[in-house]
Amino acid sequence: MKLEWRRVSLPLKDPFTIARGTLHHQQCLIVILTQDGVSGFGEVTCNNYYGHTYESLEAALNLVRDAIAEQPLMHPRELYKVCQAVIPTDRFALSAIDGAAYDLYGKTQGIRTTEILGLNTAAETRSSYTLGIDSIEEMIRKYRDQPDWPVYKIKLGTPHDLEIVQALRAVTEATIRVDANCAWTVEQTITNSRALRELGVEFIEQPLPADASPAAQREVFEQSALPVIADESCRTEEDVARCEGLFHGINVKLCKCGGLTPASRMLQQARALGMKTMVGCMIESTVGISAAAQLLPLLDYADFDGANLLAEDVARGVRIHNGEVEFSNVYGNGIELLI
């Protein structure tokens, strides 16, 4: 198989702010895996927080390119082992290759990736739409631009978090979830959880820093008035068991864990441990979203709005429309590249 990639800079509709900073463009790599004239596509985004740049991602892809060139078409789980042996800790790069591998394998076999993963395709879970941090007026304007989603995920971590949620609750009856992106203390989390429960919020994502002590996490787990979902605290397969008893659920992202192959195992493990399951995304194109959406049957919560936040996309594939996950008629992940 042949491995190639392209650098892409995705323009956003609106600047996107979370507790850690603001984005205007999202840099990503589109990874292309080709065998006998058929191509599968994967995506990985550059990410300061996790320390991934174009250069670091391309260095990892260069390391694994020769190993892939020697391989015939194979099940993505088998190719994952080949790649993992070469770049065991480069999970962002692994995730893009793994996404392309499922897309290619499905296209050549004439099946969808959900079927390759052994999942029932009839899933009802809807996606949330994310409102990044901004002035309250701007956050309401962004909500009014997209008023028909069943669920909104509100980014918090400001000096006026409760006012933001109060203002949005005043204009919508939709389900609201909040994501503090590591910005709160134990005391803030417990206090905020009570007020947020009164506002009908469903859960809190990652209130504490990723390196908070287990004792701090347990205090929040036991005293929060709302369920707490791990994002930055749950990156890899090894983290799932560690989150038991500290979080009520986990938010898996393909780039954090290494792709569909480990993500599907993590979600099944979390369910077996009685935790809620969620898959989220970065701001990314339909290439990345189409991979993540294949996990829908394993999810209690979905956050697949990455491509909806873009001014221009680079592919057709799984489409998220007002929360509905609309699968493409193309096999694999369903991706048709437009660039």
Contacting positions for Mg ion (CB under 5 A): 179, 205, 231
* 205 carries a ligand binding annotation: yes
| DSSP line for 268-303 | HHHHHTT-EEEE---S--HHHHHHHGGGGGG-SEE-
179 is annotated as contributing to ligand binding:
yes
**Least distance (Å) between residue 16 CB and Mg ion:** 13
Q: How many Cβ atoms sit within 10 Å of the Cβ of residue 259? A: 29
Nearer to Mg ion, 39 or 181 (CB): 181
Return the structure tokens found at 91: 């999970």
The torsion angles phi and psi of 129, rounded to 5 degrees, stand at -115, 135
Rounded to whole angstroms, how far apart are CA atoms 277 and 296? 10
Q: Toward Mg ion, which CB reaches closer, 30 or 183?
A: 183
Q: What is the SS3 assignment for 317?
A: coil
Q: Residue of minimal CB distance from Mg ion?
A: 231
Q: How far is the CB of 43 from Mg ion (least distance, A)?
A: 18
Nearer to Mg ion, 90 or 231 (CB): 231
Look up residue 227 and give its amino acid.
P
Burial class (CB in 10 A: 0-12, 13-18, 19+), 335: buried
CA distance 130 to 311: 15
Could you give the residue numbers annotated as active site? 155, 253
Minimum CB distance to Mg ion smaller for 32 or for 282: 282
- Render 51-89 in DSSP notation, one character per residue: TB-HHHHHHHHHHHHHHHHTPPS--HHHHHHHHHHHSTT
Q: Which residues define the annotated binding site? A: 179, 205, 231
Residue positions forming the annotated binding site for Mg(2+): 179, 205, 231
